[in-house]
Amino acid sequence: MPARGVIRSVRLALLAALLALLAACGTTKVQPGYYRVQSGDTLTQIARKQGTSVSNLARWNNLSNTNAIEVGQMLRVAPPAGQASTSAPATSRPKASGGSRAPAASMGKRRTAPPGAISLVWPAQGKVTRGYDGSGSNGIVISNATGTPVVAAAAGTVAYSGSGLRGYGHLVIVKHNASFLSIYAHNSKLLVKEGQRVSQGQKIAEMGNSDSKQVGLYFELRYDGQAVDPAGSLPGK
Instruction: Name the helix (H) or strand (E) containing 27.
Output: none
Q: Has residue 107 got a pLDDT over 50?
A: no
Where in 163-225 does DSSP place strands (E)? 170-175, 180-190, 197-198, 203-207, 217-223
**The predicted structure's pLDDT at residue 100:** 39
Domains and CATH numbers, the chain: 31-98 (3.10.350.10), 127-233 (2.70.70.10)
Q: Which of 135, 60, 42, 59 is nearest to 97 (CA)?
A: 42
The pLDDT tens digits for 164-214 are 877 789 999 999 998 999 999 999 999 999 999 999 999 999 999 998 889
Q: What is the pTM of this model?
A: 0.60
